[in-house]
Amino acid sequence: MALGFETGQATDVGCRRQINEDALLARPDLGMWVVADGMGGHAAGDFASQTIVAQLDTVGCAVSTEDLLARSLERLQRANDMIRTRSGELGGSTVGATVVAVLAHGPTFACLWAGDSRVYLFRKGQLVQQTRDHTEVNALLAAGTITQAEADTWPRKNVITRAIGVDAAVACDQVQGTLEQDDVLLLCSDGLTEHLQDHEIAACLGNLPPQQACDALIRETLARGARDNVTVVAVRCAPPFDGARASEDDILDDLA
């Protein structure tokens, strides 16, 4: 089944940061959407995220999902090397960024990621996280070292365990799936999920077109204090939905 894509995108520096270290890429013509989040508090996080996006923007037209994955991983390694060179120029300061990408070819898609930026799939009213955060707290949970209740208040819950630019070789995880008409994929930096719950994200994706949903998610995050940069990209599988949608104001009222 051939699918088209309707894309929305938005990013904001937030309420407390001076520089937006997030970067995004939306290339529906290539079947690629990306969010990169420069590592907060480190030198040149904006350079790292922009380098990742710039390299992935050169993948060209792939012949399959596997080809697109291979091209993307090669570009990420290039970005990784460039970021590490920049780190050396800065005297060895840690420079890096998380990355999450959705790669689509025909009815199949793949998610590729390193770090704690996320991809969600909204399908038939259900929102399911496709990625698994590469964080210290998730590693402790998986090992059974801490409970979920402890994880919720863990003092180092935002410490990431993978990023582009930190190690010599890129280490990404990936999952693959099949797309259906009216699916919506959401890519986001952790600036969004720090403030909004899954059911609130689902309310926007289920009732607003992609660009309006992105704008609403950013606006609500800012209203709640936006402690970090925040970036969202929403991708809806066409043909467009032609039934009645709730108004944006109605959805925002529900979030309040």
Report phi then psi at 89, rounded to 5. Answer: -65, -25
The two three-digit tokens of residue 120, written as one number: 């969600």
Residues 120 and 204 sit within 8 Å (Cβ to Cβ): no
> Is residue 40 pLDDT above 60, yes or no?
no
Look at residue 215 and give its three-state secondary structure.
Answer: helix
**Mean pLDDT, all residues of the chain:** 91
Which residue type does 206 have? G
Range name among 122-136, 211-225, 238-252 with the lowest pLDDT average: 238-252
pLDDT value of position 129: 98
Find the angle CA(203)-CA(113)-CA(216) to the nearest 5 degrees: 25
The answer on pLDDT for 28 being more than 90 is yes
Per-residue model confidence as pLDDT tens digits over 144-181: 888 888 777 777 877 899 999 999 999 999 999 999 99
Confidence of residue 240 (pLDDT cuts 50, 70, 90): very low
Condensed to tens digits (0 to 9), the pLDDT of residues 202-228 reads 999 999 999 999 999 999 999 999 999
Contact criterion met (CB below 8 Å) for 187 and 109: no
Residue closest to 6 by CA, chosen among 244, 254, 242: 242
Q: So what's the pLDDT on residue 179? A: 96
